[in-house]
Amino acid sequence: MFFLFLGIAATAQTEKGSWLVGGNFGLNTAKNNSQISISPSAGYFFLHNFAAGAQINFAYSKDVDIKRTNFGVGPFARYYFGTMNIRPFADGELSYESTKSKIVGTGASSTVNGSSFFIGGGLAAFINRNVAIEGLAGYKSKSIKNGPNTGGINLRMGFQVYLSRDQVENMKSGRL
């Protein structure tokens, strides 16, 4: 009975009409190269276990004497499998991106625009009825206008807050 109850509690948050709000955090360190990124997102469950929404991407990196800041925005779609508290999901994202590069000490800078996509999957581990910690792994490709295309394995950690339709209505009416 206990495990059945846990499965039902997790299922309620991915039903049609629910919302998810959260994001991912990335950190990459290597010799003479470091990067930090954050991607807040919000989505709506249009179908049971299927959510789509929008995300914003912010990233900063430093590679020897070049500093880069990146801003991106775009849609995502996600499908959850199963009904238990640890739930796999498939994730796909598109993003329009703008990256500004500066050479340290010279004042020289340039800006390039492009797009990227991510396709992969992950696990959402519900720590309570409304919050899940998640890990994602997949392939990310970035295309820059008049520049090189890059791609590779992308790993992320994040969290999501799941809000049922009733919880959203209560927030709108000030009952929470």
Report pLDDT for 46. 97
Q: For the chain, list the domains and their CATH numbers.
A: 2-172 (2.40.160.20)
Report pLDDT for 92. 97
C-alpha angle 167/168/170, rounded to 5°?
A: 65
For the chain, 176 residues long, give each residue's pLDDT as a single digit of tens.
334 344 444 445 799 999 999 999 888 787 778 889 999 999 999 999 999 999 999 999 988 889 999 999 999 999 999 888 899 999 999 999 999 999 988 889 999 999 999 999 999 999 998 999 999 999 999 998 777 788 899 889 999 999 988 887 777 787 65
Report pLDDT for 12. 54
Q: Which amino acid would we find at residue 26?
A: G
Write the CB contacts of 53 (distance below 8 Å, at least 6 apart in sequence): 20, 41, 42, 43, 44, 75, 76
0.85 exceeded by the pTM?
A: no
Q: Are 112 and 99 a contacting pair, CB within 8 Å?
A: yes
